Each structure stands twice: as structure tokens, then as C-alpha cells.
């Protein structure tokens, strides 16, 4: 039986180098395994937990769809769709809410961080975000969820909720596992290498967008914060800046961090920055041209989204139905 691989990305702001290295690259690799059935989703419902400008949200969803395709997500081998096109997500999220405790949600790191950042808009959705994410995952009988480190806590809560439901009603849900890429599960900000590179970081030069021009990429890496000595070595605790550059270089050249650090140990910081920028430019170069072509063809992007949503619903609807039946609801007769 093939393994179901499921993951998602919020189409807000820009897609970052962290998103690509920590997640989307892995999505593409997993799609190449014939034993995998891959389902990838643009989590537009999740984005509105923080206020979004309507035009930006719309345009970003189209951009992220074009980017996923440009990066090699294959609409035929994988299922690629927008979360808001599949209403089963919201329905399952409601049901799962009734099997999730407020205390559990209060303890979520991202909820605490985002509540601090958006103190004027601590809405119910922000708190409920992990339940919607659990619904995303459980709706598809998912075995593996490829994510970066920051999403692991959310996958854990999805496991807890699935186990709780199964203990009450029998085997309703598959209990999923989070999987992380070996190199780059947490790419750090270029300006503050102790915090994650994040789409929403407004600090100039902190974040590399996958659509940045080569000149911009060089400029950002040149300005990257390094450490006070001059030694190149991989040590994320005492040398976070250099370690982040080594991680990015390793990921961009598909090598281990250890081998990369050994090769670079005699370089100066300036050389390491340029080598990393060059490797990133080469890694991203093929995407740019394909992206430009795809984003100019909204009709095609709509077609891909509709095709993906149709296939997603074929899997999601029976799983939702099974859960509703287990709870005891009277199911509507087919006819
Ligand atoms: P999002 O949109 O914040 O990020 C998408 C993916 O990119 C990873 N990521 C990173 N990896 C390495 N370094 C970084 N600096 C970095 N920043 C982000 C994230 O870990 C993630 O894998 N809640 C999710 C979207 C989602 C989802 C799901 C994911 C909704 N439903 C179901 C998996 C399964 C999110 O906000 O990801």
C-alpha cells in the first residue's frame, strides 16, 4: 500500500529560502518515490488568522501555486490544491475542536508568539490554527508530514487528537508522523541568526525570497550577520551566523553540513558569504523562468487548482463521512 504524504504552506508574504529548503524541496523529492502518494496544499484558510489585504491574499495564492509548479511539484503525480476549495477542511476542524482542549492550544509556541506579535487581534482562529492543521492532515489518511522544525509541535498535536479519537471510536484516523529534511529544517534569519527566517519578518535583508534577483541575493548574503571571531566551523550555539551560512550552502549543493564545513574551514567570512550566495542563485535559477511563464497564465493555474481540489475531495469526503458516522450523526442518504 502506498504511503500518503501530506503537507501545506501558507500563501502569505513571500516564499522564503527557508520554505524551499525546509519544505518544498523535500515535497518534490518525496514525489519521486513510487510508493508515495503526495498531497500538497496552499493553506489560504490559515493565512486569515492574521489580517490580510484581500488583493494581496488573492495574488499570493496564485503566486504560490505558480511557484510550487515551477519548483517541480507535478500536478499529475501529486495532488496540488487550495485549502479553501475543499470545504471538508472546515467541517472536520469543527468536529475536532470538540476533541481538543483549550489548555492544549494555550501551550502552543506559535500561538504564544503570534499573540504577542498581534496583540490587537488575538482571534479564535489564531488559537484554533493547530486544530485546522490537524484536520488538514487527518482528512487524508496521512502517514508522513514533511515540515520544518517550527511545525513539528503542530504535527504532534494532530497525532494526539487522532489518538484520542481512535481511543473513543476505534480506528477512524491514521496517526501521522512528522518528517524533517536532514539539512535545513530551520534556516535562520540572515540578520538575527538566533531566530527563524520568516515570511513575515520586516527586517531588511533578513529574509531571502525565492524570487529575489541574483543581485539582491548577493547583497543580502554580503550583509549577513556572522560571528565575532574569524573561524569557520559548524557550531549553531556559539557560531549561529556562520553555521546558518554553512547549512544553506550544504542544502543548496546537496552535501552534508560536516563535509561543507570541512571544505570551507580555510575561507574568510566574505568568501563563505559569496560562495553561499552563488550556490543559492544556482539552486533557484531554473525556477525563475518557469515561474514567469506560469504566473502569466492565470487560466492554467485555475485549471490546476480545480483539478487538484476535485481529486483531494475524493479522498477527504469518505474519511470525513467515516468520522461523522463514528460520532453517531445520522448521515444523509445518497438518494
Ligand atoms: P508555513 O507556511 O509557515 O511554512 C511552510 C513550510 O516551510 C517550513 N519553514 C521552514 N523550514 C526551514 N527553515 C525555515 N526558516 C522555515 N520557515 C518555514 C515550515 O516548517 C513548513 O513546513 N501551518 C503551516 C502550513 C500548514 C500545514 C498543514 C503544513 C497548514 N496545514 C498541514 C503541514 C500539514 C505553516 O504555516 O507553514
Predicted confidence band of residue 163 (pLDDT cuts 50, 70, 90): very high
User: How many Cβ atoms sit within 10 Å of the Cβ of residue 86?
Assistant: 23
The Cα diameter of the chain in Å comes to: 74
Ligand 1 close to Cβ of residue 108 (< 6 A)? no
Q: At what angle do helices 269-295 and 214-222 cross, to 10 degrees?
A: 150
Burial track 12-47 (b if 16+ CB lie within 10 A, e otherwise): bbbbbbbbbbbbbbbbbebbeeeebbbbbbbbbbbb
User: Which H or E element spans position 324?
Assistant: helix 298-327
Residues 81-100: tens digit of each pLDDT = 999 999 999 999 999 999 99
DSSP for 109-145, please give it: HHHHHHHHHTTT---HHHHHHHHHHHHHHHTTT-SEE
Cβ contacts of 213 within 8 Å, gap of 6 or more: none
Annotated active-site residue 75? The verdict is no
Ligand 1 close to Cβ of residue 15 (< 6 A)? no
Predicted confidence band of residue 335 (pLDDT cuts 50, 70, 90): low
Predicted TM-score (pTM) of the model is 0.96
Predicted confidence band of residue 1 (pLDDT cuts 50, 70, 90): confident
Annotated active-site residue 182? The verdict is no
Ligand 1 close to Cβ of residue 8 (< 6 A)? yes
Ligand 1 close to Cβ of residue 13 (< 6 A)? no
Q: What is the mean pLDDT of the chain?
A: 96
Q: Give 106 Cα–ligand 1 centroid separation in angstroms.
A: 20
Amino acid at each position: 500500500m502506498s504511503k500518503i504524504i501530506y503537507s501545506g504552506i501558507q500563501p502569505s508574504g513571500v516564499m522564503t529560502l527557508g520554505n524551499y529548503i525546509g519544505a518544498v524541496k523535500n515535497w518534490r523529492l518525496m514525489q519521486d518515490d513510487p510508493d508515495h502518494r503526495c498531497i500538497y496544499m496552499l493553506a489560504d484558510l490559515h493565512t486569515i488568522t492574521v489580517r490580510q489585504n484581500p488583493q494581496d491574499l488573492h495574488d499570493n495564492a496564485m503566486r504560490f501555486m505558480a511557484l510550487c509548479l515551477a519548483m517541480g511539484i507535478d500536478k499529475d503525480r501529486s495532488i496540488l490544491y487550495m485549502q479553501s476549495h475543499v470545504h471538508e477542511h472546515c467541517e472536520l476542524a469543527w468536529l475536532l475542536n470538540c476533541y481538543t482542549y483549550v489548555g492544549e492550544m494555550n501551550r502552543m509556541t506559535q500561538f504564544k508568539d503570534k499573540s504577542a506579535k498581534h496583540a490587537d487581534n488575538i482571534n479564535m482562529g489564531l488559537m484554533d490554527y493547530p486544530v485546522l492543521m490537524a484536520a488538514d492532515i487527518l482528512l487524508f489518511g496521512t502517514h508522513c508530514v514533511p515540515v520544518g522544525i517550527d511545525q513539528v509541535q503542530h504535527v504532534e498535536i494532530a497525532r494526539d487528537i487522532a489518538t484520542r479519537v481512535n481511543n473513543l471510536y476505534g480506528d477512524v484516523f491514521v496517526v501521522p508522523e512528522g518528517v524533517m529534511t536532514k539539512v535545513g529544517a530551520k534556516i535562520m534569519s540572515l540578520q538575527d541568526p538566533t531566530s527563524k527566517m520568516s515570511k513575515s519578518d520586516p527586517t531588511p535583508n533578513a529574509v531571502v525570497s525565492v524570487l529575489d534577483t541574483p543581485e539582491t541575493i548577493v547583497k543580502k548574503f554580503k550583509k549577513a550577520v556572522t560571528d565575532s571571531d574569524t573561524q569557520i566551523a559548524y557550531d549553531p550555539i556559539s557560531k549561529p551566523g556562520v553555521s546558518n551560512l554553512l547549512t544553506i550552502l550544504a542544502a543548496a549543493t546537496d552535501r552534508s553540513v560536516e563535509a561543507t564545513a570541512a571544505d570551507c574551514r580555510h575561507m574568510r567570512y566574505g568568501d563563505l558569504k559569496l560562495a553561499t550566495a552563488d550556490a543559492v542563485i544556482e539552486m533557484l535559477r531554473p525556477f525563475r523562468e518557469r515561474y514567469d511563464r506560469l504566473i502569466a497564465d492565470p487560466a492554467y493555474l485555475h485549471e490546476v487548482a480545480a483539478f487538484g481540489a476535485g481529486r483531494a475531495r475524493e479522498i477527504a469526503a469518505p474519511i470525513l463521512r467515516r468520522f461523522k458516522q463514528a460520532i453517531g450523526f445520522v448521515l444523509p442518504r445518497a438518494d
